[in-house]
């Protein structure tokens, strides 16, 4: 049995009798037929600019008058009794439907203004854009596609934006932003390793997006407002932090050098542990040499650091996110030597571990068979066994020393990578800060409503079921997720299992 849904706008309460126009949609799989009544028609044959939108019914206020509808296949006749709607007649596919069967016909009363106002409703579409199964989304899309003359949308911003002068200003800003973006894209192959350049690119692209939505669509959606508010908060926080920094420290490069000195002295003390003396000595000399090289590099690069600090002060005014990206770049520069030493230690350790694993197999009299990808038994000759066992013994007893160095330098590297990851994620959160959206959600405004709330109007044992629907905001997290700007890419998730595997086998760790 087919279920019939009739969507009736509550604006019809105050209207005079007349013909109704709307859309009839049918979903064959669920045997549901929806009659979306959009409003009262002015004439009989108007073009509403949307396919399938035509006259679908008649509204008679008091008594049920008879209008000939014999030629129509789908027809609805509505009436008003007291303060409630009555569905007099429904025609489906040419047959008059018997409304005495309970719950076969459902009449849903909606507030047309609120459905238009909600901006997030249509965003919760299926990935392929089909509206299958959700009748309220079908309703919202039909309402939006029909252009309505008496729609009242947020007058304030649209008045300002429709002003010709402001349009010119917006176009000028758009040109400048495009030029800047082209410059940045030109230097992209060279500078793509710096976080600052990437951030600048995202920032300019978002700015262009805001300006375009201001000039083309002439209204600013919730997403755009959210991003603008987040950027303003970002800039304020940045200014505060700069003010605090200049008040607290006189010269950050000096601070950096002092912390570097602490690290170096700690490293020197580590070499007094109980390890294999000769090997330890050799490795220790090697790494100490590198640490001294880094120390010299820091001292020499001190003026460069001062310049970088001034850049930090300038660009940092553009927001906390810029400061975070500059910090990431500075951190990478300063920790370059740690990266080099880490690479040496990691390569040595991975060589030793893989050699140990292969020789352990030899110890047991087995061998890896690359043809079959498995470990087989193998008849070694005695001198192969002799040399193999000697090498195994040597590698085994030198492992603690190598392990010690590897652990130390990997910890340092992990700290640096962790800091960088933290700063990247802080930047991402700042860019998507949902202050504006949360405020709207707290005030339960209809702009951020993404789901509906149905109440039963009257319950009769016979006749159609009367419901009324209100769009309401969904959960806070859903609302926030709809308003994340698309141009901002979330940082990739850390694959912990992979990370631990790489640590144990000595493969290099890269920042994500």
Partner 1 sequence: MTQKQQTWKKNLYENVDYPDNYTDKTFLEELKKNVHITEISPRSAVLGAGLVTQEISIVIFFVIIYVYLYNGWIEPETVIVQSSLVATIGYLLYRIVLTKKNYYEALVKDLRTVLIFVVFGYILSPVLKTLTDTISTDTIYATASFMMIIHLIFFDYGVPAAIVSSSLSLNAAIFGSVCLASRLASPFHAFVLLTNAVECFVLLPILLSKGRGSVIVLTAMIAIAVYVLWTVSLIMMVLCVCITLFVTVLCPVWFLRWQNCKENIYGPWDEAIVHDTEM
Residues that bind partner 1 (CB under 8 A): 274-278, 362-365, 378-380, 382-383, 385-390, 392-394, 397-398
Cα–Cα distance measured from residue 405 to residue 171, given in angstroms and rounded to the nearest whole number: 59
Can you say how many angstroms the Cα of residue 209 is from the centroid of all Cα atoms in its chain? 16
Cα–Cα distance measured from residue 183 to residue 197, given in angstroms and rounded to the nearest whole number: 11
Q: Closest CB to partner 1 among 365 and 491?
A: 365
For residue 76, the surrounding DSSP H or E stretch is: strand 75-81
Least distance in angstroms from the C-beta of 275 to partner 1: 7
Q: Closest CB to partner 1 among 314 and 387?
A: 387
Provide the 3-class DSSP secondary structure of residue 469: strand
Q: Closest CB to partner 1 among 28 and 383?
A: 383
Q: Closest CB to partner 1 among 383 and 459?
A: 383
Contact 204, 177 (CB under 8 A): yes
Least distance in angstroms from the C-beta of 273 to partner 1: 10
Contact 300, 220 (CB under 8 A): no
Q: Closest CB to partner 1 among 346 and 362?
A: 362
Least distance in angstroms from the C-beta of 271 to partner 1: 14
How far, CA to CA in Å, does 317 sit from each of 274, 323, 373? 51, 8, 58
Q: Closest CB to partner 1 among 311 and 394?
A: 394
Contact 34, 7 (CB under 8 A): yes
Least distance in angstroms from the C-beta of 266 to partner 1: 23
Cα–Cα distance measured from residue 454 to residue 15, given in angstroms and rounded to the nearest whole number: 24
Q: Closest CB to partner 1 among 278 and 304?
A: 278
Least distance in angstroms from the C-beta of 396 to partner 1: 9
How far, CA to CA in Å, does 50 sit from each of 132, 358, 433? 19, 72, 38
Q: Closest CB to partner 1 among 241 and 387?
A: 387
Least distance in angstroms from the C-beta of 335 to partner 1: 32
Cα–Cα distance measured from residue 141 to residue 271, given in angstroms and rounded to the nearest whole number: 71
Q: Closest CB to partner 1 among 277 and 496?
A: 277
Least distance in angstroms from the C-beta of 383 to partner 1: 5
Burial of 39 (0-12, 13-18, 19+ CB in 10 A): buried
Least distance in angstroms from the C-beta of 370 to partner 1: 20
Least distance in angstroms from the C-beta of 369 to partner 1: 16
Contact 338, 412 (CB under 8 A): yes
Cα–Cα distance measured from residue 121 to residue 451, given in angstroms and rounded to the nearest whole number: 7
Both structure tokens of 390 = 């000697």
How far, CA to CA in Å, does 500 sit from each of 106, 504, 506? 58, 6, 10
Q: Which of 13, 140, 27 is nearest to 83 (CA)?
A: 13
Can you say how many angstroms the Cα of residue 51 is from the centroid of all Cα atoms in its chain? 35
Least distance in angstroms from the C-beta of 381 to partner 1: 8
Contact 214, 170 (CB under 8 A): yes
Can you say how many angstroms the Cα of residue 409 is from the centroid of all Cα atoms in its chain? 34
Q: Closest CB to partner 1 among 249 and 384?
A: 384
CB atoms within 10 A of CB 201: 18
């Amino acid at each position: 049995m087919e279920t019939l849904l009739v969507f009736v706008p509550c604006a019809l309460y105050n209207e005079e009798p007349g013909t109704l126009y709307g859309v009839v949609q049918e979903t064959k799989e669920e045997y549901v037929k929806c009659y979306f009544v959009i409003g009262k028609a002015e004439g009989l044959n108007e073009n509403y600019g949307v396919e399938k939108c035509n006259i679908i019914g008649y509204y008679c206020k008091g008594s049920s008058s008879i209008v000939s509808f014999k030629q129509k296949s789908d027809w609805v006749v509505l009436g008003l009794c007291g303060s409630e709607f009555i569905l007099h007649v429904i025609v489906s596919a040419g047959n008059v439907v018997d409304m005495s069967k309970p719950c076969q016909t459902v009449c849903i009363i909606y507030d047309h203004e609120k459905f238009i106002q909600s901006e997030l409703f249509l965003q919760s579409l299926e990935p392929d854009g089909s509206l299958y199964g959700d009748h309220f989304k079908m309703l919202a899309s039909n309402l939006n596609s029909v252009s309505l003359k008496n729609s009242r949308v947020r007058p304030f911003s649209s008045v300002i934006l429709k002003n010709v002068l402001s349009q010119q200003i917006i176009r000028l800003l758009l040109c400048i932003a495009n030029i800047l973006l082209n410059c940045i894209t030109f230097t992209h192959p060279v500078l793509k390793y710096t976080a600052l350049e990437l951030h600048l690119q995202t920032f300019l692209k978002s700015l262009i997006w805001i300006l375009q939505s201001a000039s083309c669509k002439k209204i600013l959606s919730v997403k755009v407002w959210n991003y603008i508010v987040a950027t303003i908060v970002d800039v304020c926080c940045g200014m505060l932090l700069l003010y605090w920094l200049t008040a607290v420290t006189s010269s950050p490069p000096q601070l950096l050098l002092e912390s570097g000195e602490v690290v170096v002295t700690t490293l020197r003390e580590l070499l007094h542990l109980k390890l294999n003396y000769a090997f330890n000595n050799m490795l220790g000399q090697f790494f100490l040499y590198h640490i001294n090289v880094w120390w010299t590099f820091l001292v020499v690069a001190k003026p460069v650091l001062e310049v970088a600090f001034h850049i930090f002060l300038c660009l940092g005014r553009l927001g906390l996110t810029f400061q975070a990206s500059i910090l990431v770049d500075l951190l990478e520069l300063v920790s370059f030597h740690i990266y080099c030493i880490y690479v040496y230690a990691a390569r040595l350790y991975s060589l030793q571990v893989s050699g140990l694993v292969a020789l352990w197999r030899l110890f047991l009299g087995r061998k890896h068979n690359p043809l079959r990808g498995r470990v087989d038994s193998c008849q070694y000759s005695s001198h192969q066994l002799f040399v193999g066992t000697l090498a195994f013994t040597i590698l085994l007893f030198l492992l603690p020393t190598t392990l010690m160095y590897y652990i130390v330098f990997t910890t340092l590297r992990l700290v640096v990578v962790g800091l960088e990851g933290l700063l990247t994620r802080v930047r991402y959160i700042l860019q998507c800060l949902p202050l504006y959206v949360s405020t709207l959600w707290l005030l339960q405004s209809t702009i951020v409503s993404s789901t509906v709330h149905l109440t039963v109007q009257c319950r009769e044992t016979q006749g159609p079921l009367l419901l009324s629907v209100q769009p309401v905001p969904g959960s806070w997290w859903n609302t926030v997720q709809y308003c994340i700007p698309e141009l901002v890419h979330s940082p990739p998730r850390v694959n912990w299992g992979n990370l631990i595997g790489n640590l144990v086998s000595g493969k290099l760790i890269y920042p994500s």
